[in-house]
Amino acid sequence: MANHIAKLFCAELEGLTPHLVEVEVDIHVGLASLTIVGLADKAISEAKERVSSALKNSGIKPPNRENRKVTINLAPADLKKNGSQYDVAIALGYMIASGQLKPFDGSRVLFLGELALDGSVRPVAGVLTICRMAQQLGYTTIYIPLENQNETIHLDALTIYPVRSLKDLIAHLEDQVSLPAQQSKPFHPQRAKGAVDISEIKGQYAAKRALMIAAAGGHNLFMTGPPGAGKTMLAQALISILPPLSFEEATEVTSIYSAVGLLAHGIQKESGPTPTFIEARPFRAPHHSASATALIGGGGLHPRPGEISLAHRGVLFLDEFPEFHRDVLEALRQPLEKGEIVIARSQGSAIFPARFLLIAASNPCPCGYYGDEEKECRCGAYDIIRYQRKLSGPLMDRIDLHIWVKRVTSDDLHVPRNEKESDSLLQQVLSAREKQRVRFETAGVAYLSNGELSSTHATEFIHMTPGAQHILDHALDSARVSARGYFKVRKVAQTIADLDGKDVVDEACVQEAFSYRVREAEEKEI
């Protein structure tokens, strides 16, 4: 019986933040028992049963066959541990401590995986996030479940070994059989394909222009119009003209989905390989009955990201905007400004990224026909006011673009589809984004679009003609826009200039940008 303490490394996810965890295993004289300490939850406490069965079915003498006391410590002890990713590290640590596996240098090695009773290794959540942490901390090797390999397929700074079973891993560590290391593949950006291509939408030229501005500058958009005008289709079509994800953006998005266990694991299905690395921008459309926790994030002891984080670097579409609970909508204020959400709890806080493009749609009144040119509204003045007041001024002030989506006419429906329209709009968006990239890179700042600019940088980077500046200053002084709206207009005007190929923001850019701050439905007399 070996008398030394075995030490291996695993990791814990606290929200989306990974923490290194040291798994210590000690075996000493005493009545047969296996104890796991270190603030472990129920899933980890049950690991002793999974590990014992997995070891037995892998041809290894399990702890319950030894008349020894086994103590497993997960350090640091003040960090709460949850999940089943410790199983493999616990099993190997026990084998080393009991002398059934020769010791090896594990100082720069991580082990992840849940054990099935037959000894096979099952997938776990957060593998990509943990791999990125290991890379930053200088770790060189990581063993992961075979079914998690696709989410790490583009990492090349680590030696990653996908593992099918505990028996295979033991044979590899004892130099009997060599597991093949994962070969990284180059990342190829994928253009997102929405449920609707923008070329399929007939008419709505003004709305398409607003969508292009939103895509080019990362600006939030609010659409109002009668039922059936095409607001939902326009929102779904936006994803088709957004720039493809960069590798860093795709890694951020995949890390979020990996941490919450939303990646589709599985090596092979009837339809072919299952991709588990997200290469296209996400599109999330929660129902208006969603709770604040579902939309913003949170939960019990272990806060989880909500829809705004799952839409990170993509689109969050909120249809029937006024029908969401008011507290849910008001909770959007902070992430719309900062691009992240802080979930505070008495025992700590979690920060989730939430840099999403908000597209909201609403009818102008309960019946939906207030302001419609063809159909008469049946709502009373009080009903209309009460309906529109569900959306607070501070929230609406944070949305860059406000447009009225008109009813589609029969003439619009008979216009032949231009299948090249989507590619044309995308190229304009890409050209505008490239100008922004060069501008920000030259200035040495980490922004990706005009919509992310702070007020300070919006003043510093955006150059306007005297006439354009006068129009904007007059709008602020006459209280037509707030100070926040002032900078929103400034940033939207810069995006319009980028789309139109202008080096300086002129009067036409500011006038168009300012027109998107006025909701047509509010201008009509009630």
Q: What would the DSSP string read from start to end of 141-169? A: EEEEEGGGGGGGTT--SSEEEEESBHHHH
Whole-number average pLDDT of the chain: 91
pLDDT tier at 518, thresholds 50, 70, 90: low
One-letter amino acid of 68: R
Comparison of pLDDT for 210 and 275, the residue scoring more: 210
Which two tokens mark 286? Answer: 């929660």
d(CA 172, CA 405): 63
Strand spans (E) along 291-409 = 297-298, 304-305, 315-318, 340-345, 348-353, 357-362, 401-404
* 492-501 pLDDT per residue, tens: 999 999 999 9
What are the beta bridge partners of residue 18? 13
- The pLDDT of residue 450 is above 50: yes
What is the structure's pLDDT at 521?
Answer: 37
What is the structure's pLDDT at 270?
Answer: 43
Reference 285, options 248, 238, 343; nearest CA is: 238
* 265-296 pLDDT per residue, tens: 544 444 444 457 898 899 999 999 999 999 99
- Which domains are assigned to the chain? 6-173 (3.30.230.10), 198-418 (3.40.50.300), 424-522 (1.10.8)
* 321-333 pLDDT per residue, tens: 999 999 999 999 9
Burial environment of residue 276 by CB neighbours within 10 A (0 to 12, 13 to 18, 19 or more): buried
Comparison of pLDDT for 229 and 195, the residue scoring more: 229
What are the CA-CA distances from residue 284 to residues 219, 326, 356, 426 (Å)?
17, 20, 10, 21
d(CA 493, CA 482): 16
What is the structure's pLDDT at 276?
Answer: 73
CB 197 within 8 A of CB 237: yes
What is the structure's pLDDT at 519?
Answer: 55
Burial environment of residue 20 by CB neighbours within 10 A (0 to 12, 13 to 18, 19 or more): middle
What is the structure's pLDDT at 86?
Answer: 97
d(CA 295, CA 422): 30
One-letter amino acid of 445: V
Comparison of pLDDT for 193 and 382, the residue scoring more: 382
d(CA 2, CA 491): 67
DSSP tag of 120: B
* Mean predicted confidence (pLDDT) in 420-440: 95
- The pTM for the full model equals 0.90
DSSP tag of 239: G
